[in-house]
Structure 1
Amino acid sequence: MSKRKEFPKPPFPKQAQSLPGSSKAMNPEPDYGEDSYQGANRLTDKKALITGADSGIGRAVALAFAREGADVVVSYLNEHEDARETQRLVESAGRKCALIPGDIAQAEHCRTLVKKAVETLGHIDILVNNAAHQMTFDALEKIPDEEWDKTLATNLSAMFYITKAAMPHLKEGASIINTASINADVPNPTLLAYATTKGAIQNFTAGLAQLLAEKGIRANTVAPGPVWTPLIPASMEADKVREFGAKYPMKRPAQPCELAPVYVMLASDESSYVSGATVAVTGGKPLL
């Protein structure tokens, strides 16, 4: 029997970055499954569009999808170095990978993104709405109007625009996977705008699953707990980063590679009767 892998636990070195953050600048660097994820042909020749796939959960999902046999389009803001590393990982698995930078907070870019993805892939079998923005504020009056608008535009409105634009290209058997958060059920008050969007994402997905059931298209939500991604040192105080995940039952944050198998499961044809679900990946902390 193989030994269970040990993942890093806090306290972590104090660290801070500016948004959107970089994987290489993190200590320790996130584990994306480069040396551990083994595919089993569960997504052979499927075509996937993944937002926020330059790093974090999105990169781990892109890598896992590729090793399961899928071609991938990586949507990201402007983290070109991180995105090229995701591309390298996908292509090293023998699959096609295209990079499409741009701000999904802009509705027109969302439509352009889908258009370019279809031109690249031919069609879309799997849509993963994963990109997110967050910032920490300890009082309501400290949240700038612009910050509120940006969070809702990036996390929620983009999901609507991208999914709507993708609909003509999604056929029976397609899978939509939206990344929510434990904050949808257990909101962190210092992440008020972010938590609000995550609750809305969960509701949006539950309704979407019902709308699309007759078309044979599934929609599900993944609700992660704390995950060690560049967004953490880029959006939280260094002291909080140092203890990130320590209060969860497993006493640590997840590594991105620990999320990827759930996305693979929801994307695969084996999950043909799973729709409208929220899958919690929260290190032992229950959703309400």
Structure 2
Amino acid sequence: MSSPAGRAVTPPLAPAPTSGLSLGTARLCILASAVLFSTGGAAIKLTTLSGAQVAGLRSLVAACALWLVFRQSRRGYGLPTLLVGLTYASTMVLFVLANKLTTAASTIFLQSTAPLWVMLAGPWLLKEPIERRDIGFIGAVALGLVLFFFERTPQATAPNPPLGNVLACASGVAWAGTIMGLRWLHNEGRESLTALVTGNVIAGLVCLPWALTGEPALSQAGLSDFVAVLYLGVVQIGLAYLLLTLAMRTLPALDASLLILLEPSLSPLWALWLQGEVPGLPSIAGGLLLLGSSILRALGARRREAT
């Protein structure tokens, strides 16, 4: 599950930098969170459960983990939280379904197009005009997005790349909506983490009928399937968000925006190592274009902040 950071894309999961961890420790925490986030695609593919089963069970476990770990997630429920929770639930479900159909590389990089949708919606929803220096970034991300849709060759771990890529792109749009919603809650003085718990509960409940009645039957699932689901909910989401939140209390958002890019870089490598999944040339080219443009944009923002 992607968790980008930066001016236009940082979910305000924690207060502005205050104190606590040293900068070095904060950097290690955010790198560790990026590593954990990056394992999502490979872990999803390791299970024999269906996409709906993984999405539902993973989110229910994650909701419990987040609720137990973050005391602030137990307050501030209301209609605004529910609305943002719906967009986050869509992100979670679409991400899992996409991973079951296309490569982990395509899924994570297409979800990472969220900044593009945030920028395009910014003038209307956030009252933030598109700046001239962002036009090149928008063009590069758009081109990278298009390249993924030239990837059509199925493989054992990616049986339907065209449909999976559509779902992954939709996950990016939903993640953009979540980012904007979390910023809205933050600006309204509401607790952002409450929306994440709400979203996971919604995703779990929506997928539960398919999880209980779908194929393969849960009674036929092996121990490794349930271990994978527990890992996804407790570690890949719960622990990763804990580390991210701790880091963001000390680390400037622009530093975080660079370090968190380790996630999309590692995600395809986990799938290659654990499943032997090799993305096609269009996906590799699109991923490099998205990753490179994101790095250049973050470095440019960091230089501007320094001056």
* TM-score, normalised via structure 1 length: 0.30
| Larger strand fraction of residues | 1
* TM-score, normalised via structure 2 length: 0.29
The structure, 1 or 2, with the larger RCO (C-alpha pairs under 8 Å, 6+ apart) is: 2
